[in-house]
Structure 1
Amino acid sequence: MDKKTFQWERASGTETYLISSDRSLLAHAFVQDVYATEEVFWAKPLPSATLCTMLDNSLTLGVYLVSGESRTAIGMARMITDYTTLAYLTDVYLVSKHQGRGLGKWLIACCRDICLSMENLRFMVLLTANDQARALYRRELGMTKLDGVEEGLVCMGARKANLSRVPAATDAPALQLQ
């Protein structure tokens, strides 16, 4: 599948910013640094090959400060998507010294634009434990807590340790990789 490159540019005061899904712009070292921060507590740096696989199978938006021909990464958001019916938003991050300039709202608006371009989108979903982020996602994306209010719909999840404890998983035939 040919993945479209999404890109937006805007000026704020004397600064110019770029948001782009162009993978060649986003340094793996920046993603690893983001995963090492306390703000992104749910993630940790990954082995290089694992990081490449993750990025190859995601739509990742980088946020860049533009200065002439130079682009410095200052933020990111990653969506796991089939580009058709579902988008899972995760790993939203903006370097603290660039916060408070509307860049986070803009990044979320760009994610919204991508999802709206998916003609058959059923859901855009995310997980957050942060009250401020919940308010942002409610306001900027129209998100609501999935707690069974929509026709019995609930959001469920299991960590890897729980998956391995389920009896059905141990009774299943061994996975055959081809």
Structure 2
Amino acid sequence: MSRPAAKKPEYQKINKDLFVLTYGALVAQLCKDYENDEDVNRYLDRMGYGIGTRLVEDFLARSCVRRCHSYSEIIDIIAQVAFKMYLGITPSVACHNSSRNEFSLILDKNPLAEFVEELPAGRSALCYCSLLCGVIRGGLEMVHLAAEVTFLQDRLKGDSVTEIGITFLKKLDEKKYRRKK
């Protein structure tokens, strides 16, 4: 008797609209629970960090990306593979300094804010999508890269684009990754 071929596990995708609406309800509840916008921002960032630390394993298993040797390679993978895989968008990338450790991801469209037209009244310091910063920071830390991730511009605050700034805090040790011959 022959055995049936092993099936790959199927990943069920959650409906994007359901996720975005659920996220909106979460932010609304946090705004009710916390008076201070900074507390809401910190909570969303911490929540995103937890998601990022768990998501990186799934990302590495499903994406089949190779080891990166520069920060620009890492940013390209985040923009072209990770954002496309999980949010269905591909942000553009900009480098901000000559040492090539400061980058921006520029989102023409932010799926998390798709159904949001403006921030709630009196919540001008709220960073509605702080979750994204935490996810990126958590994922990078799991592959041993310390980074500072912040929103530089936000359409919900009247800016022309949504821009996430990523600053790598530690120099990548390229010697560590060279193969011995």
Looking at secondary structure, tell me which structure has more helix per residue. 2
Does TM-score exceed 0.5, indicating one fold? no
TM-score for both structures, normalised by structure 2? 0.26
Q: Greater share of strand residues, 1 or 2?
A: 1
> Of the two structures, which has the highest relative contact order with CA contacts closer than 8 Å and spacing of 6 or more?
2
